[in-house]
Structure 1
Amino acid sequence: MEEEEEIIVPINNDLERRIADAFEVFDHAGNKRIDVREVATIIRGLGCCPTEAEVQEIIVKIEDHQTPGSVHLLQFLPYVSQFITEHKYEPATPEQLLEAFQVLDSEGHGFLTKEHISTLMTQDGEPFTQDELDEMLEIAVDPHTQTIPYEYYINQLMHEPEPEKSIYALADRIEAEKPPPPPPPRRMSEFLKTVEETEA
């Protein structure tokens, strides 16, 4: 079998460096390729929150058709960089989470029962696995009341990352540092019109 020629993947800024570093953790062979099953782990590790369906859509866009089941950094890097710059799959804000919990707490108690949240998380929408549910309940449930006081739980979740630790803040900085685009070229007729107006 012919040895694959190494493809140079240029890294243009700090955002791309952060994405490439996360990718390389899973590039066990050191050939700028990962298994498609690692895509969700890398993207979520960067601080993005796509659903399983959205992860599958991402994989369809970036999977290497020459080597099915793998993703090359050359496809991964620009695609992931683009959707982070566009703020896709951004985590919910504390306000959005609070609003969602308040909708579930229709009687306004300020808490949800362990049973109620377990049913919601495993049966509605995109279900949690038992491991994911156990991990969530370990943090969310008040050991004294065995309920989930959701404002306290949101505060537990929501330690604001330092600006440069947030991948979306980093993307915003990179965008802000880009030079403005050059003005569009003027047509000769526009130029002559300006000259005529100045002379008039």
Structure 2
Amino acid sequence: MNHSMDYVQDCFLVFDKVGDSRIDKRQVGDLVRALGLNPTNKDIDRVTRSAAAERMTFDEFVPVYQSLEKAEGEREFDVASFYEGFKVFDTDNKGSLKEAELKDILTRLGERLSEGEAQAILSAVVDSDGRVAVDKLVKYVTNTN
């Protein structure tokens, strides 16, 4: 994403709910996602495991952020694989999925989302018939146009 460190620090401080210029290491995933990265929970666990304390300073966060940013830049990203993955669930070949089915997929399979996370995605892509166009979903979650 190439944000300036001043911007990253400003975002970091937004996540400081105590006022001690630290964040809980469980917030790292939310923070880096707010900064535009899309690491897996496994990636987050890997880079925060070495943090000595439950709350980390900005100076402790920077190498974590940079590591995740570098890993994301190196990761091969193939939008076509998203389409192929969702095609398995599009049993009627309409190019869309029922909202309830997609919510079930998002909260039960793979790297599971919470109910709130799934609902946030669904609310952005569901149509008035309660269906989600695979094309619209993929564009939304991959930030492609």
- TM > 0.5 fold call: yes
Match of 1:59 in 2: 48
Distance 1:69 1:147 in 2: 41
Instruction: Specify the code of the residue in structure 1 equivalent to 2:101.
Output: H
TM normalised by structure 1 equals 0.57
Match of 2:138 in 1: 154
Distance 2:85 2:4 in 1: 31
Whose radius of gyration is greater, 1 or 2? 1
Q: 1:75 aligns with which of 60, 70, 73?
A: 60
TM normalised by structure 2 equals 0.74
Bigger mean CA deviation after superposition, 44-53 or 20-29? 20-29
How is 1:98-113 mapped onto 2 (pairs within 5 angstroms)?
Answer: 98-113=83-98
Partner of 1:87, secondary structure, is: helix
RMSD, matched Cα: 3.2
Check conservation: 2:48, 2:64, Cα contact below 8 A: no
1:18 aligns with 2:7: yes
Check conservation: 2:103, 2:119, Cα contact below 8 A: no
Partner of 1:118, secondary structure, is: helix
Name the count of aligned residue pairs.
144
Shift of 1:113: 1.8
Distance 2:87 2:27 in 1: 34
Shift of 1:85: 3.0
Gaps of 5+ in 2: none
1:129 aligns with 2:114: yes
Gaps of 5+ in 1: 1-12, 162-200
Shift of 1:98: 2.5
Shift of 1:157: 5.2
1:50 aligns with 2:39: yes
Identity %: 22
Shift of 1:44: 0.9
C-alpha distance after superposition, 1:161-198 (max 9, x if no partner): 9xxxxxxxxxxxxxxxxxxxxxxxxxxxxxxxxxxxxx
Shift of 1:29: 5.9
Change (3 A) 1:25 1:114: closer
Change (3 A) 1:124 1:73: same
